[in-house]
Amino acid sequence: MSSFAVTAERLTIHPHPNADALELAQVGLYRAVVGKGIYETGDWSIYIPEQAILPESLIEELGLTGRLAGKNHDRVKAIRLRGELSQGIVCRPKALHDILGPGGVFDGDDLETCAERGVDFAPLLGITKWVPEIPTHMAGVMVEAPDLLRWVDIENIKRFPDIFAPGEPVVATEKVHGTCCLTTVTAAGETLVTSKGFGGKGLAIAESDSNVYWRAVRAHKVAEFAADLIGVYGASRVGVFGEVYGSGVQDLGYGVNAGVEPGYAAFDIAIDVPGEGVSWVSPALFPNRGPATVPVLYEGPYDEALLLDLAEGKTVLGAGAHIREGVVVRPAAERFSPVTGSRAIGKFVSGAYLTRKGATTEFE
């Protein structure tokens, strides 16, 4: 999942094609449905993203009692309003008067100044990020893992539309709806397996016959592949990052029963060579050497409209003829992004996926 913050944003307002009393407020490439006439293009407002948990007082103020997601009806998720996809909430809560006013936290600053400073309004408004409870078969006994190679947050390109330049050579792969599995093998022969969420805390999962990550790593010989690459590159450690999927993992199963054998698709490799540091390579470079990889859907010049369209449609993975979660986009040649402050990598998520019925949580 991508980084989380509640930020001040300058709006661009568009007409709602199917409702006279509504408009669309654009933030980056996201659009949120708002009441007509509340905002004008150029106005500043607060943008609350998906996965936000709102305090009861703010829910009441915004008139959203009983209308949000989750068992407590307090979570922001994408919805369709009169046929238009609405992602996040655009608002100016009353609390801003105290936060920005004289004697407040920012003592007279305006929203534009707060945007320039990168202010996160989430703690000031009592907003937190929703973190799903991890099922037993995805958890386990946790151990400290200082040698673990971690995965990065993939930002949504709708939120950061300048990650890629028009025409830049890119590769787009299908974003698989599973759970991210981190596998690190060291030159000393240690194998570390964990999830993205646990890995972000420097924790690995103790080897277990019942843990879905370990079962996938064993079944698809991921550790053997990583050990092979250590020899190829003379590395001190290699990390293989893949998506574990199937029914019993998430609600989109791709025709795979994870209870029998979890599906696995590699999407990235990190190679740590002494004296050179960590470099990233694509698993597609080793088509007959390692586990299956995520499907490549496009290679060519960066085209925002084309890739937004490519995020929709049906999956091409396995036997699951269901919706596609989206696409992950990266440059043809690995590079740093000043927009994200990290690797140049981003995603477009399918609107059909975001608004599907019976959605299971996205476990990290």
pTM passes above 0.75 = yes
Residues 191 and 310 in one domain: yes
Find residue 300's DSSP bridge partners: 170
* 327 lies in the same domain as 191: yes
122: CB partners within 8 A, 6+ apart: 4, 5, 6, 52, 128, 129
Average pLDDT, the chain: 92
Cβ neighbors of 186 (< 8 A, separation 6 or more) are 147, 192, 230, 236, 237
CB of 83 closer than 8 Å to CB of 18:
yes
CATH number, position 60: 2.40.50
238-295 pLDDT tens trace: 999 999 999 989 889 999 999 899 999 999 999 999 999 999 999 988 988 899 999 9
> Does 131 have pLDDT greater than 90?
no
- One domain, residues 21 and 104: yes
Q: Report which DSSP code applies to 68.
A: S
Contacts of 218 (CB under 8 A, 6+ apart): none
Give which of 69, 75, 61, 86 is closest to 128, Cα–Cα.
75
So what's the pLDDT on residue 104?
65
Shared domain for 148 and 96, answered yes or no, is: no
Q: Are residues 115 and 189 in the same domain?
A: no
The pLDDT of residue 180: 94
Q: What is the pLDDT of residue 294?
A: 96
Which pLDDT belongs to residue 321? 79
**225 has a pLDDT exceeding 60:** yes
Residue 65 has pLDDT above 60, yes or no: yes
Mean pLDDT of 291-318: 96
Query: Could you tell me where the beta strands, DSSP code E, fall in 216-295?
Result: 237-245, 263-273, 277-281
Q: Convert the pLDDT of each residue in 29-54 to its tens digit.
A: 999 999 999 999 999 999 999 999 99
Look at residue 1 and tell me if it is in a domain.
no
Residues 220, 237 within the same domain: yes
CATH number at 210 reads 3.30.470.30
| 210 and 123, same domain (yes or no) | no
User: Is the pLDDT assigned to residue 310 strictly greater than 90?
Assistant: yes
Position 320 scores a pLDDT of 67
In what helix (H) or strand (E) does residue 52 lie, and over which residues does it extend?
Answer: strand 52-53
Pairing relation of β-strands 346-349 and 169-175?
unpaired
Tens digit of pLDDT for each residue in 186-207?
999 999 999 998 999 999 999 9
3-state secondary structure of 97: helix
The least confident of 39-53, 91-105, 227-241 is 91-105
Identify the band that residue 137 occupies on the pLDDT scale cut at 50, 70 and 90: low
Residue 320 lies in a domain: yes
| Domain assignment present for 363 | no
Residue 109's SS3 state is coil
Q: Tell me which residue has tokens 């991508």.
A: 2
149 and 234 housed in the same domain:
yes
Share of residues in the chain with pLDDT > 90 (%): 83
The pLDDT score that the predictor gives to residue 197 is 87
Give whole-number Cα distances, 72 to 48, 76, 137, in Å.
18, 11, 25
What pLDDT sits at residue 360? 56
- Domain extent, residue 349, equals 136-354
**Backbone phi, then psi, for 93, in 5-degree steps?**
-60, 150
- Is pLDDT above 90 for 361? no
In a domain, 294, yes or no: yes
Q: Report the number of distinct structural domains present in the chain.
A: 2
Q: Are residues 162 and 257 in the same domain?
A: yes
Residue 125 shares a structural domain with residue 140? no
User: How far is the CA of 26 from the CAs of 106, 197, 254, in angstroms?
Assistant: 26, 30, 33
Q: Environment class of residue 12 by beta-carbon count within 10 Å: exposed (0-12), middle (13-18) or buried (19+)?
A: middle
- 112 in a structural domain: yes
Give the residue among 3, 50, 55, 54 at the shortest CA–CA distance from 31. Answer: 50
| Residues linked to residue 22 through DSSP beta bridges, in sequence order | 35
Is the confidence at residue 136, as pLDDT, over 80?
A: no
